[in-house]
A = this chain, B = another copy of it.
Amino acid sequence: MYLEDLPIGTRWSAGNFTMTAEEVVDFASRYDPQPMHIDPQAAASGRFGGLIASGWHTAALAMGTLVRARIFGDTAILGLGADQIQWPAPVRPGDVMHVDVEVVGNTPSKSKPDFGVVKIRTIAQNQRDEVVLVMTSNCWVPRRPVGQVPDLPAQSS
């Protein structure tokens, strides 16, 4: 896919991911070793009343869901960065999230005319439809080579 194939408003239902207690602890032991994420007993007596996933873990699982859904087809999902990440509600073991994505920006590069930036907003909601993740990220994608305009009738040369 090229920049031209991803206009603003393009949407995908990218699929689901499930959070397990084992994976909450495993991820956080490496990347976010705080009691609320790695110590079930401490977490039970803490403000959340039990283990919650690291927000980075939720973001990573949402990313994996986008990749496996191949939202850009054969084109890499190459992130330049994110404008925004929000974790409005905690993710707990056993939660099942569904992931929806929408193109909210589409901008040709000024410095590299063969490329552009697709801005996508990813929203993950749990089985109670509570939003647990909102992230808006900027992806670097190629532009359609000059002459390839499949939306128009083929031109004779």
Contact = CB atoms under 8 A, between A and B. Distances in A.
Interface of A: 27, 30-36, 54-57, 59-61, 63-64, 67-68, 76-87, 134, 137
Contacts of A33: 64, 67-68
6 contacts: A31-B64, A32-B64, A56-B59, A81-B134, A82-B82, A83-B83
B84 A34 contact: no
Number of copies: 2
A31 B61 contact: yes
Contacts of A83: 83-84
Contact of A56 (B35, B36, B63): B63
Contact of A64 (B30, B67, B87, B137): B30
